[in-house]
């Protein structure tokens, strides 16, 4: 197929989303290399993302570009090529989130440099959606989220709390300082363990490098903020059984996760290859099946619009601090992370993805559960 025909095909698809090539709107795109059209048609979202990294195209407002694209569901019209189909096949045949691969996947994202995350995130280094109610800054919004999570768990002094996927210790430190609880945090990232231990020094907090499947202790509360996206559909039931076994009979479990509007067994191929290998977004149905017979769902809170604001804030920090980072990361890395952050912002803005905080009990709360907002 010649370039003109390919350009016509891509233009027709983009026009359905109100996007023009060489247009004047902020969400329109400029194409610098005509090979872009072949990559877009042949490789779909994977090719479009790779072409962006190579600077074959750009948009003045990448998040608005993706908002338009996702709102019109244009990405669903692009045929899956053999490379993408191969990745889907692998996800269905193999357990891409096994214990061994969990550590390997963690290294590829969370171990690329604490300096990057220190400059991109808020002062507490919270790498999950902030809660922007009554907040004007990222720091305030992230403290709001941590406090809301603690209130939903109904923490009391002296309680034992398990934090699955503890990151750099932001929740553990906050809960120990503000609510006087004892926290055990686990992560598969060595870099996170090292920094989390420093941040939580002197507090009743223990940070461990371990996979959730190796947990054996009992806790009064369990929290997991932004880790379930790495569990994988083959392991959802196993994960819930582990949490059930770790939680005392009268305990509460708070699950904070990005959610998919449809059940799926694979993630966006570009995200999977360049940002979060092995990641996967659960649906309501998949979570429901995983908890059946194990938990009572007490509360389901969706504040996905807040993730749009969070991602834009992370992008702004990343861009503003690039001069301090560029000696360790090249220009392709800059374009990769800009694309990642703004694509995800557009996805939440278009309501393609959700952000859920779900509270579970083992046997139901006597008299009912009153959820704070």
Question: Mind listing the pLDDT tens digit of every residue in the chain (373 residues)?
Answer: 588 888 998 999 999 999 999 999 999 999 999 999 999 888 888 999 999 999 999 999 999 999 999 999 887 665 454 455 555 545 555 555 666 566 777 788 888 999 999 999 999 999 999 999 999 999 999 999 999 999 999 999 999 999 999 999 999 999 999 999 999 999 999 999 999 999 999 999 999 999 999 999 999 999 999 999 999 999 999 999 999 999 999 999 999 999 999 999 888 889 999 999 989 999 999 999 999 999 999 999 999 999 999 999 999 999 999 999 999 999 999 999 999 999 999 999 999 999 999 999 999 999 999 999 9
214/164 Cα distance (integer angstroms)? 12
DSSP H or E run through 221: strand 219-225
Which listed CATH number (3.30.565.10, 3.40.50.150, 3.40.50.2300, 2.40.100.10) goes with 96-361? Answer: 3.40.50.150
Q: Please give, one letter per residue, the 3-state secondary structure of 6-24.
A: HHHHHHHHHHCCCCCECCC
What is the CB neighbour count within 10 angstroms for residue 178? 13
Active-site residues, by number, are 344
- Predicted local confidence at residue 89, as pLDDT: 47
- Rounded CA separation 115/220 (Å): 34
Crossing angle, helix 62-71 and helix 331-349, to 10 degrees?
40
**What are the start-end ranges of the H helices in 180-235?**
190-199
Q: Residue 287: count other Cβ atoms within 10 Å of its Cβ.
A: 23
- The runs of H, that is alpha helices, within 167-296 are 170-179, 190-199, 236-246, 269-274, 284-291
CA distance 153 to 2: 59
Query: In which region does residue 321 sit, left (phi positive, over 0), alpha (psi from -120 to 50) or beta (all else)?
Result: alpha
Phi and psi angles of residue 36, each rounded to the nearest 5 degrees, phi first = -55, -40
Domain ranges across the chain: 3-79, 96-361
What pLDDT does 79 receive?
47
pTM of the model: 0.93
């Amino acid at each position: 197929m010649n370039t003109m025909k390919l350009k016509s095909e891509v233009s027709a698809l983009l026009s359905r989303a109100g996007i023009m090539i060489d247009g004047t709107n902020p969400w329109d795109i400029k194409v610098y290399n005509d090979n872009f059209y072949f990559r877009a048609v042949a490789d779909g979202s994977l090719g479009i993302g790779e072409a962006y990294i190579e600077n074959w195209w750009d948009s003045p407002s990448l998040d608005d570009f993706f908002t338009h694209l996702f709102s019109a569901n244009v990405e669903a019209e692009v045929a899956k090529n053999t490379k993408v189909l191969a990745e889907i096949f692998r996800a269905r045949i193999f357990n891409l989130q096994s214990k061994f691969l969990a550590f390997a996947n963690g290294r590829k994202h969370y171990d690329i440099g604490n300096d990057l995350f220190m400059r991109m995130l808020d002062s507490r280094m919270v790498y999950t959606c902030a809660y922007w109610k009554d907040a004007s800054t990222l720091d305030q919004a992230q403290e709001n989220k941590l406090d809301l999570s603690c209130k939903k768990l109904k923490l009391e002094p002296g309680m034992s709390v398990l934090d699955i996927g503890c990151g750099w210790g932001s929740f553990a430190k906050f809960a120990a300082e503000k609510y006087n609880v004892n926290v055990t945090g686990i992560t598969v990232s060595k870099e996170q363990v090292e920094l989390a231990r420093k941040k939580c020094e002197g507090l009743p907090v223990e940070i461990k490098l371990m996979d959730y499947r190796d947990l054996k202790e009992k806790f009064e509360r369990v929290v997991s903020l932004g880790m379930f996206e790495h569990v994988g559909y083959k392991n959802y039931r196993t994960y819930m059984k582990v949490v059930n076994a770790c939680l005392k009979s009268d305990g509460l479990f708070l699950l904070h996760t990005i959610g998919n509007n449809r059940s799926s067994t694979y993630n966006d191929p570009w995200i999977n290859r360049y940002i979060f290998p092995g990641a996967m977004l659960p649906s309501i149905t998949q979570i429901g099946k995983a908890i059946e017979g194990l938990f009572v769902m007490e509360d389901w809170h969706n504040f996905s619009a807040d993730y749009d604001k969070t991602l834009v804030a992370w992008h702004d920090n990343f861009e503003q601090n690039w001069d301090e980072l560029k000696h360790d990361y090249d220009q392709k890395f800059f374009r990769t992370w800009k694309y990642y952050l703004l694509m995800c912002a557009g996805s939440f803005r278009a309501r393609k993805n959700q952000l859920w905080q779900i509270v579970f009990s083992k046997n139901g709360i006597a008299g009912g559960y009153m959820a704070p907002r």
